[in-house]
Amino acid sequence: MVMKNLMGNDPIAIRLGSLSKVFGRRKRQVRAVHDVNLEVKAGQVYGFLGPNGAGKSTTIRMIMDLVRPSQGSVHLFGENVYTHHQVLQKVGALVEGALFYPFLTGRQNLAVLARTGDVYDEKRIERLLAQVKLTEQADRPVKGYSTGMKQRLGLAAALLNDPDLVILDEPTNGLDPAGIQEMRGFIRKLVDEHNKTVFLSSHMLGEVEQVCDRVAIIHHGQILQEGAVADLLAARNQLRIEAAPLDRAEALLSGEWTVTADGRWLELTANREEAPRIVQRLAANNVAVYQVRTQRQSLEAFFLEVTQAAEVTGG
């Protein structure tokens, strides 16, 4: 689905070109982001993943022109953010938690933000309060809101200007399991029913796996992996092989794959195309293979594998 685009006909919502950011000077320099190249097509939920300190927040700040890069460029819908600031009018964001006037009610806070941004629409405010399920709490002072309620209000605030691009930084913080599920459904509806693009930063990889179309993994300021979630996970499977004798099977495979023995079973991570070769090797060496089961690797397991490999290689 191609998103409506009032800024032009570019189907790329976000394009980052050789984006880098260095803080400090000389010996105190810290490289937060290094040579990031990324394209996010319109009309999808895009996950931006990485450990704490990986460069996610700095990248998001550069996308929103809150921090200027040391080098590189940011284009939104084909417009350079740093020379055509009007494109930011088509962006809504919930970044690093939601901050509101504590003594005003939720409804009053949204009204103040809408009037400040010259997008006041009373009916839209009421619809957004209903969508994030805050109608009953809308007339309570925000100082009495839980963290989860503030996150919901922050999402409503991000949507006040009916943006084409929604940037969400840890939107499920403070939500209980039911709230997380509701937020996941709401994010999908933004894309599937309201023709928006969502750029989502999160550490809750199980939730990301269920809601995102594509993901990028950033580590030490560099992109390690990028692609469609289904493609990334389909390439690596968890194989469970029931074989005997188990010790011989483990010895035959452990030189090429990481193998663990569990009772009558071997467990290893391998490319899908490698499964026939694994079975053939075992059979050719007089190992009886009784069952082979495959399970798609989770996004969390893939993420840990990629980032740990980067630590070993110094990437």
Domain count, the chain: 2
> Residue 209: its pLDDT value, please?
85
Q: Which of 93, 21, 15 is nearest to 59 (CA)?
A: 21
What pLDDT, on a 0 to 100 scale, did the predictor assign at position 25?
85
Low-confidence ranges of the chain (pLDDT < 70): 1-10, 97, 235-236, 312-315
What pLDDT is recorded for position 210? Answer: 87
Q: And the tokens for 2?
A: 């191609």
Task: Give me 191's structure tokens.
Answer: 């894309």
Question: DSSP code of 90?
Answer: G
* CATH number reported for the structural domain that contains residue 248 in this entry: 3.30.70.930
pLDDT at 315: 58
Within this chain, do residues 98 and 119 fall inside the same structural domain, yes or no?
Answer: yes
pLDDT of residue 179: 82
Same structural domain, 200 and 65: yes
Last residue of a domain, one of 196, 227, 258: 227
Asked whether residue 92 falls in the same domain as residue 23, the answer is: yes
From 170, 295, 178, 149, select the one nearest 234 (Cα to Cα). 295
Domain at 144, CATH number: 3.40.50.300
**Both 220 and 243 in a single domain?**
no
The per-residue pLDDT for 160 is: 96
Q: State the pLDDT at residue 180.
A: 85
Q: Which of 186, 205, 206, 210 is nearest to 196 (CA)?
A: 186
